[in-house]
Amino acid sequence: MGLEPAEPGTTAVKLLASPAVRVGISISIATGLYGVSFGALSVTSGLDFWQTMALSLLLFSGGSQFAFIGVVAGGGSGIAAMSAATLLGMRNGIYGMQLNALLHPTGWRKYVAAQVTIDESTATSSGQTDPDEQRRGFWTAGIGIYVLWNLFTAVGALAGSGLGDPKQWGLDGAAVAAFLALLWPRLKGREPAAIAVVCALATVVAVPFVPAGVPILIAAVVAALIGWFSHGRSDEGLEPDVDPYDEHHGRRDKNRDAHLDNQRDSHGDGHGQTGQAGA
């Protein structure tokens, strides 16, 4: 369990030795800091401080939040902003399915887990092969990003236009790099790369013709159709729990992987199906 108390003193050392925790912390810092740009852009888009904070505290999904303020900034109506944000949040439902199968949260944990289910916590978790690591990665990234994202949203909202143009600091470039870094490790093999290219092209073609936010949904439909109609093997980086952070494990030997798979299969509760990344 990622949240269980262990002997004092050894806990911190053990947790920092966990690759999932280290990935989670790096991602929390990288993503959390970007909250500054959301906060600043939000108040310059015409939302007030508490509206900005409500989006970060309650909605908590970067893409949807930016979509919401983007529509408002462009003069769109409240209902259009709400629709764009909601459609963009669809993928979090898919992530919820995956995470439920990976982590099996119970009771109140399920409701907390749902709130911190976002791109980054899902990627950190599904990037790990060991069930305990998957759990630690999810909670470290989820809670870490939640705390930092809200903290830095407040900083950005208070600094507001005083910060100047957030673009000056390259914050939009940071977002580009972050999404590419999340995508990159999934591009093992020809087929995932082809899917990425097709979806990227669909996005570019769609941008001028549909409202902001919709091109992403078109790409999602294209990707789902490819998944529905293709019959390829599902072990070439296409399974949801492909390992995006291979470098943190170093070179993995086959014996260890086989051992881990046996462990997972012995749980007999679905891990055998969903936990075969890297096998």
Find the binder of another protein among 18, 61, 125, 129 (CB under 8 A). 61
Find the binder of another protein among 49, 110, 150, 158 (CB under 8 A). 110
Q: Is-contact 60 86, C-beta < 8 A?
A: no
Q: Is-contact 206 215, C-beta < 8 A?
A: yes
**Considering only 2-10, 132-140, 146-154, 211-219, which stretch makes contact with another protein by CB under 8 A?**
211-219
- Considering the rule CB under 8 A, would residue 94 count as an interface residue with another protein? yes
Q: Where are the alpha helices (DSSP H) in 10-77?
A: 10-17, 19-33, 35-44, 49-54, 62-73
Find the binder of another protein among 190, 259, 270, 279 (CB under 8 A). 270
Residue 166 token pair: 């957030």
Pick the closest to residue 279 from 264, 262, 257 (CA basis). 257
Shorter beta-carbon distance to another protein: residue 259 or 267: 267
Rg (CA), the chain: 20
**Considering only 73-81, 148-156, 249-257, 258-266, which stretch makes contact with another protein by CB under 8 A?**
73-81
Find the binder of another protein among 167, 190, 256, 267 (CB under 8 A). 167
Q: Convert residues 122-161 into a mask of x (bound to another protein by CB under 8 A) and - (unbound).
A: ----------------------------------------
Find the binder of another protein among 15, 44, 49, 51 (CB under 8 A). 51
The count of chain residues that interact with another protein, using the rule CB under 8 A, is 104
Half-sphere exposure of 87 (CA within 13 A, CB side): 18
- Considering the rule CB under 8 A, would residue 17 count as an interface residue with another protein? no
- Considering the rule CB under 8 A, would residue 227 count as an interface residue with another protein? yes
Q: Is 255 exposed, middle or buried (0-12, 13-18, 19+ CB in 10 A)?
A: exposed
Q: Is-contact 38 156, C-beta < 8 A?
A: yes
Find the binder of another protein among 145, 220, 264, 275 (CB under 8 A). 220
